[in-house]
A and B are shown apart, each in its own frame.
Chain A
């Protein structure tokens, strides 16, 4: 079976989805639009891959889904559960730790390069 992300990036889609949904319920298309907006389109991906992420988070109890009819169209809205909020806190902490480490490594590498 194909692995879509290298292991050390495996929490990023979950982190972004949980962050987008922490404010309010949204459906898939809305989530992708919000992600593009807040990341300044820095992360490029085929939009369809959002659904396995959503379903996986739902399966693990981090999200709850409910069907809602809006303007005659059936939508599946996703919202964060209390378990999802805990997962978001955990993933945010992990991401901050990793990004701090990477930034400090880049800073060190840049400093070394400047000294050379």
Chain B
């Protein structure tokens, strides 16, 4: 039954309604529709007629969407205050940048360790050769 309200869900999401309220609206509408259908069946209506009556009583998607969108307090925080959200997002990005090399090093520990050892050995060998050559020059 929730797929009945898929178009409504999309419209509310795209209009910036807080996801928590979008999902709750859909869940509560679904339960409400089931209650209305049960009541219609109890009143003697059957099958498609009970479903049609229940849907009419619940109201169409456009009216429900208009009622939700008419309440700005249900908008997502980032939609209500886009500039603040944008600034916070930028600050978070800038704050994260210096940490990225550290995170990279932690993630690539084994490879970096191998490179470190190789580089250390190379420096030691080249240094030793240079020192030996230097000694030979001095002695000769």
**Contact yes or no, B25 A55, CB < 8 A:** yes
A28-B32, A29-B32, A76-B28 known; A46-B60 Cβ under 8 A: yes
Cα distance A28–B59 when bound, in Å? 14
Main secondary structure of the interface of B (DSSP, over half): helix
In the assembled complex, the CB of A99 is this many whole angstroms from the nearest CB of chain B, namely 24
**Contact yes or no, A55 B21, CB < 8 A:** yes
B83 part of interface (Cβ distance < 8 Å): no
B73 part of interface (Cβ distance < 8 Å): yes
Cα distance A52–B63 when bound, in Å? 11
* CB closest residue in chain A, given B64: A48
B31 part of interface (Cβ distance < 8 Å): yes
- Of A1-9, A17-25, A87-95, A105-113, the one touching chain B: A1-9
B50 part of interface (Cβ distance < 8 Å): no
**Contact yes or no, B66 A48, CB < 8 A:** no
**Contact yes or no, A4 B32, CB < 8 A:** no
**Contact yes or no, A52 B36, CB < 8 A:** no
Number of interface residues of B (CB under 8 A): 27
Counting chain A CB atoms within 10 Å of each CB, which of B15, B72, B74 scores highest? B74
**Contact yes or no, B59 A46, CB < 8 A:** yes
**Contact yes or no, A2 B69, CB < 8 A:** yes
B70 part of interface (Cβ distance < 8 Å): yes
Q: Which residues of chain A from 1 to 48 have a CB within 8 Å of any chain B CB?
A: 1-5, 27-29, 32, 45-48
Q: Which residues of chain A from 31 to 77 have a CB within 8 Å of any chain B CB?
A: 32, 45-49, 51-53, 55-56, 59-60, 73-76
Footprint of A on B, CB under 8 Å? 15, 21, 24-25, 27-29, 31-32, 34-36, 57-60, 63-64, 66-74
Query: Can you name 18 A-B pairs with beta carbons within 8 Å?
Result: A1-B15, A1-B69, A2-B66, A2-B70, A4-B66, A28-B31, A29-B31, A46-B59, A47-B32, A47-B58, A47-B59, A48-B67, A51-B28, A52-B71, A52-B74, A56-B73, A74-B27, A76-B24
